[in-house]
Structure 1
Amino acid sequence: MTPLLAVDAPSLYFRAFHGVPAASALAPDGSPVNAVRGFLDMISTLVKTRRPGRLVCALDNDWRPQWRVDLIASYKTHRLAPAGGEEVPDALVPQVELLLQVLEAVGIAAYGVDGNEADDVLGTLAARSPGPVEVVSGDRDLFQLVDDARGVRLLYVGRGVAKLEDCDEAAVLAKYGVPASGYADFAALRGDPSDGLPGVAGVGEKTAARLIERYGSIDAIVAAAADPASDFAPGVRTKLAAAADYLAVAPKVVRVATDVKLPDVDPTLPAVPRDADRMLELAERWNLASPCRRLVDALAAAAN
């Protein structure tokens, strides 16, 4: 089975938007297309270097699912726009629609699932797709998907695609001191301000890693802390007790769903654009000729 490249599209197009100066990437009418150009170049680089036979761009149909908010009300509240919805730069909003039009013309699968984030689409692809699977994201939560037995790796692009970190289970362990299977509980203990997750007050990354290393999961940690006969450090025991309500729900919020109903879409990476005329039209109208050409060349190279 050819490799599946499962791309966290929002992670990449936000990085492209902030990483490519808008003034250097304008359409003939003056509209910024920096996110589109940067995203297409990232995909071209990934296709050229990873040579996948399959590719899916996962989307946020719901960037802040209600089922997660019901469990932790602070989930992503700092990213809420005053009028509701996600706070997205005005110049990025129309570029996302344009990007999807280009991907459709090329024939690259791109979809989300209602009520779920892109992470949940990626989690389900990683759990259900025949391996190997390479998940591409700058979201640390996706370290939990790494699974050597199933051939699932995370291509972590926190420092950009050019400096991506190709992570297997050994890399996750070396980076955080916990196995990939324990990463979600580790992250729940530590907390994550970028997602509005408070973590356990007074428990930092090192303590969280030691607890996961010793006990394996939050359930086992809580059970040991509640046992008067255990040799649990009194200070940490107190901190965990104070966070009991949070710990009861946080793992479910942090864990990526692996059972969402995915649309029946062929992930096969095309060797040539599906609709070359439409792609050419978009490229000429929006000053995307160079990144589109690079993508076409990458598709051809990957097919050979």
Structure 2
Amino acid sequence: MDAAPSPAAPGADGLGAGRERLLLLDAASLYYRAFHGVPQSLTAPDGTPVNAVRGFLDAVAFLVAEHRPVRLVACWDEDWRPAFRVAALPSYKAHRVGPGGGEDSPAALGPQVPVIAEVLAALGVARVGCAGFEADDVIATLAARAVAAGDVVVDVVTGDRDLFQLVDDAAGVRVLYVGKGVRRAEVVDQAWLAARYGVRDGAGYADLAVLRGDPSDGLPGVAGIGEKSAAGLLERYGDLAGVRAAAAEPASAVPAGQRRRLLEASGYLDAAPAVVRVVREAPVPVVPDALPRAAADPGSLERLVQRWGLASSVERVLTALGSARG
């Protein structure tokens, strides 16, 4: 991204003194980035690529060592293109559907995802998804539950800008944006959103995303309304509802061209919020999320290490777990 990275050093931000830190990992975002960032020459003894597995585990080790959470959950995509979002906007991720109807993803990545799940289980690291919902919704739901319970700071680890909508300084929710890599994570709080996008908070970012659109997700946005003009409208009229109300009022100060485009996009603007906004009350199963201090199943973990050649990466995770609350 264009903004200068803000180092995410533990304790340097002053956030969460005396409060537990919960790390919510956007697992798919991390293992996709690991797959594309770590050479496929890293293989198991039988030659099977394990670059995504190794990269994902190394990311977990770094995050635990750097941020020292008390709780951690790897949030899983059980449905990458939920029916309720497609019903609202059929173009949603349509360009990413593969020949078999599933997500079009690299052939060498798919077999690695179950290995990651198995290693997390052997380590005792919580992993949870929710049928019919994306990982974004799982993260939003777990964050909302944690905030409601109190005494917790939530760090959402993702390379997906969609989750910026969760940022809420008062609630203690921020994003560690790994677009430039886990070691160069940018701490996204409300000041960061204001400086980068000109919006006040996470809710403002969601409204901006609706207006601007996102081609990577099949969201067309409002024709002729880019990021800056969307931010300007939101600053003047407060939120998406205020922008639409002003566009519908002939006496308002909305420029004629923007007014016309907003009115022409009324169908899209009716549908898009349900697609862009995360679900904060999804039926996500409750799982124990305390950070383990040692492997939950050492025997299974050792078998996985030997089968897939993961000794160094698993050792880094175990070292980080052992010292996280030291």
Q: Normalising by the residue count of structure 2, what TM-score does the alignment of the two structures yield?
A: 0.92
- Identity, in percent, stands at 55
Equivalence for 1:287: 309
Q: Please, which runs of 5 or more residues in structure 2 have no aligned partner? A: 1-18
In the alignment, residue 290 of structure 2 is paired with which amino acid?
T
DSSP-derived class of the 1:290 partner: helix
Matched, 1:173 2:194: yes
Q: Quote the Cα distance in structure 2 between the aligned partners of 1:216 and 1:13.
A: 37
Task: Give 1:89 deviation, angstroms.
Answer: 1.1
The amino acid that maps onto 1:213 is E
Of the structure 1 ranges 196-205 and 172-181, higher mean CA displacement relative to structure 2 is found in 172-181
After TM superposition, which residue ranges in structure 1, 4 or more long, deviate above 3 angstroms? none
Instruction: Measure the CA separation in 1 of the matches of 2:284 and 2:99.
Output: 32
Deviation at 1:228, TM superposition (A): 1.1
The letter for the 1-side match of 2:36 is H
Q: Which has the higher helix share?
A: 1
Q: Which residue of 2 aligns with 1:257?
A: 279
1:109 to 123, 126, 133: 126
| Amino acid aligned to 1:140 | R
Q: Which runs of structure 2 are paired with 1:16-35 in the superposition (5 Å)?
A: 16-23=34-41, 25-35=42-52
> Could you list the per-position Cα deviations for residues 137-184 of structure 1 after superposition, in whole angstroms to 9, with x for gaps in the alignment?
011011110111111110000111011001111111111110222111
- Counterpart CA distance in 2 for 1:234 and 1:223 is 14
Look up the equivalent residue of 2:246 and give its one-letter code: A
Question: Which residue of the partner structure matches residue 114 of structure 2?
Answer: 97
1:13 paired residue among 31, 34, 39: 31
Aligned to 2:20: 2
Taking the aligned partners of 2:113 and 2:259, their CA distance within structure 1 comes to 47
Q: Secondary structure at the match of 2:20?
A: coil
Q: Does 1:221 align with 2:243?
A: yes
Unaligned runs of 5+ in 1: none
- Tell me the equivalent position of 2:70: 53
Aligned to 1:276: 298
Equivalent residue letter for 2:105: V
Q: Distance in 1 between matches of 2:84 and 2:197?
A: 28
Is 1:128 aligned to 2:145, yes or no? yes
Match of 1:199 in 2: 221
Q: Partner residue of 1:300?
A: 322
More displaced 10-residue stretch of structure 1: 215-224 or 103-112? 215-224
What SS does the corresponding residue of 1:303 show, helix, strand or coil?
coil
- How far does residue 264 in structure 1 lie from its aligned partner after superposition? 1.9
Identify the residue that residue 144 of structure 1 maps to in structure 2: 165
What is the rounded CA distance, in whole Å, between the counterparts of 2:97 and 2:139 in structure 1?
23
Report whether the alignment pairs 1:161 with 2:179: no
Separation in 2 of the partners of 1:54 and 1:198? 37
Q: Which residue of 1 aligns with 2:83?
A: 66
* Residue among 188, 208, 224 paired with 2:210: 188
Secondary structure in structure 1 of the residue aligned to 2:324: helix
Deviation at 1:303, TM superposition (A): 2.4
Return the TM-score normalized by structure 1: 0.98
Supply the distance in 2 between the matched residues of 1:173 and 1:43 (Cα, whole angstroms): 29
2:118 is paired with a residue whose SS is helix
- Separation in structure 2 between the aligned mates of residue 170 and residue 210 of structure 1, nearest angstrom: 17
Shift of 1:240: 0.5
Instruction: Kindly state the Cα deviation for residue 214 of structure 1 after the two structures are TM-superposed.
Output: 1.1
Instruction: Please tell me the residue identity of whatever aligns with 1:90.
Output: A
What's the secondary structure of 1:189's corresponding residue?
Answer: helix
Q: CA RMSD for the aligned pairs?
A: 0.8
- Deviation, 1:42, is 0.3
Residue 22 of structure 1 aligns to a residue whose secondary structure is coil
Displacement of 1:55: 0.3
**Secondary structure of 2:269 counterpart:** helix
Aligned equivalents of 2:224, 2:286: Cα separation in 1: 46
CA distance in 2, matches of 1:128, 1:171: 24
Say whether residues 1:86 and 2:107 are aligned partners.
Answer: no
Structure 1 counterpart of 2:231: 209
1:224 CA drift (Å) = 0.6
1:155 maps to a residue whose letter is: L
